[in-house]
Amino acid sequence: MVKFLHTADWQLGMTRSFLSEEAQGRFTQARIDAICTMADLAMEGGARFGVVAGDVFESNLLSPQVVARSLEAMRVSRLAWYLLPGNHDPLDASSIYRQRGFLEHKPENVNVISDSVPISVDPGVELVGAPWPNKRPLRDLVETSLKELQSPGETIRVAVGHGAVDILAPDKRNPANICLAEAERALEEGRIHYLALGDRHSSTIVGGAGRIRYSGAPEPTDYDEERPGFALLIDLTAEKCDVRELPLARWKFARETFELSGDADLPHLRAWFDALPSKETAIVKLGLKGALSIQGQVELTALLEEQRHLLGALEVWEKESHLVIRPTAADLDEIGLTGYARTALEDLRARVDGGTGSSEVVDALALLYRLVRANPTGTGGGLS
């Protein structure tokens, strides 16, 4: 029997274009903090070691600070770590694992899986890894690492790989796809007892009666991930494989579309924002459709500005956004025009309502509205 931690895709040092400098710093730190959090939970649960199934680092070109802090977190965690080079951090000539910044800071409890020779990690337990030698391998590295192996007898053997399993791969012709049938065969023949995979950021059972899994990334990285934010505590024997998902994620991605049929719907949008927990670690992408008055648009702009200050990031979902501004009589009253100017504005508004008004007309009206609101020098705002 052995208990161990299965994690992957830390991608330490990852940057996201939509984060401000301040948010990026916290995002980076959260990924580093997850190392100690998961190690504590795993050791409380009896784990003897941790495998990181590839993409430990975002790339082979990282700031010395990210490398040093990551290794320091691993050192402080006290868990024995086995790091597998993946497609982001392959073991090529410029590999991060060969750089001085890594080698000089690497603590005793950190090990790099640099070939497929079985590694004895604990009495009666060994690892077999399939490290990426470069960014574009031309074969199934997992199959290659397992095919020469004999059954390990009484020893429990854990295989560690990275990449897309063929049945889930977007590109079926990629020669590096991991053949699931071959991995299943290795399990059935008792050559391995578990295959720890990385690359997919969602916690996913692939096959092998729960013995072939992706742990997913400890923190989410994008909107379309189904189940990110976990590491797996594996309790393994030849007869059974119990898995516990350890929840880790502090950041969250949320994507939402709102249909605003008028200004009266704005409170729904505010209520949605108000219900978001831990806004400072929420990354939101918003699609807005429908129609608002000029006043509604001003309120919306203020609401979004306020939320932008609170959130980790706020993005516009361009392809889901189509918001029309329809000036109302109340908007024109607010602008407070009289006489000839009022007649001209009424005419412009009618053209907008009739669908023949250009966006320039609406922009001009909205600008006028904001100017008057910003300089309320009495009714009419001095414009007539």
What SS3 string covers the chain? CEEEEEECCCCECCCCCCCCHHHHHHHHHHHHHHHHHHHHHHHHCCCCCEEECCCCECCCCCCHHHHHHHHHHHHHHCCCEEECCCCCCCCCCCCHHHCHHHHHHCCCCEEECCCCCCEEEECCEEEEECCCCCCCCCCCHHHHHHCCCCCCCCCEEEEEEECCEHHHCCCCCCCCCECHHHHHHHHHCCCCCEEEEECCCCCEEEEHHHCEEECCCCCCCCCCCCCCCEEEEEEECCCCEEEEEEECCCCEEEEEEEEECCHHHHHHHHHHHHCCCCHHHEEEEEEEEEEECHHHHHHHHHHHHHHHHHCCEEEECHHHCEEEECCCHHHHHHHCCCHHHHHHHHHHHHHHHCCCCCHHHHHHHHHHHHHHHHCCCCHHHHCC
* Stretch touching Mn ion by CB under 5 A, among 80-88, 102-110, 111-119, 266-274: 80-88
Residues 110-139, interacting with Mn ion (CB under 5 A): none
Provide the minimum distance between the beta carbon of 140 and Mn ion in the complex, in angstroms, as a whole number.
Answer: 15
**Residue 139 or 240 having the CB closest to Mn ion:** 139
Q: Does 219 bind Mn ion (CB under 5 A)?
A: no
Please identify, using beta-carbon distances, which residue of 87 and 203 lies nearer to Mn ion.
87
Q: 374 exposed, middle or buried (CB, 10 Å; 0-12, 13-18, 19+)?
A: exposed
Phi, psi (deg, nearest 5) at residue 72: -65, -40
Residue nearest to Mn ion (CB): 199
3 state SS for 88-110 = CCCCCCCCHHHCHHHHHHCCCCE
Scanning 44-52, 54-62, 291-299, 343-351 for contacts with Mn ion by CB under 5 A, the matching segment is 54-62
Can residue 87 be called a binding residue for Mn ion (CB under 5 A)? yes
Q: How far is the CB of 162 from Mn ion (least distance, A)?
A: 6
Q: Which is nearer to Mn ion, 11 or 307 (CB)?
A: 11
Closer residue to Mn ion in complex, CB, 87/177: 87
Query: Toward Mn ion, which CB reaches closer, 50 or 327?
Result: 50
Residue 141 CB, shortest distance to Mn ion, in Å, is 12
Total chain residues near Mn ion (CB under 5 A): 4
* 64 vs 77: CA distance, rounded Å: 20
Residue 89 binds Mn ion (CB under 5 A): no
In the list 43, 50, 55, 131, the residue contacting Mn ion (rule: CB under 5 A) is 55
Q: Which stretch binds Mn ion (CB under 5 A): 48-56, 182-190, 261-269, 364-372?
A: 48-56
| Nearest to Mn ion of 89, 331 (CB atom) | 89
CB 132 to Mn ion: min, Å: 9
Among 71-79, 86-94, 112-120, 295-303, the segment contacting Mn ion (CB under 5 A): 86-94
Q: Is position 177 an interface residue for Mn ion (rule: CB under 5 A)? A: no
80 or 232: CB nearest Mn ion: 232
Task: Find the binding residues for Mn ion in span 285-344 (CB under 5 A).
Answer: none
199 contacts Mn ion (rule: CB under 5 A):
yes
Nearer to Mn ion, 126 or 219 (CB): 219
**Closest approach of Mn ion to the CB of residue 249, in Å:** 18
> What minimum distance in Å lies between the beta carbon of 246 and Mn ion?
21
By CB under 5 A, name the binding residues for Mn ion. 55, 86-87, 199
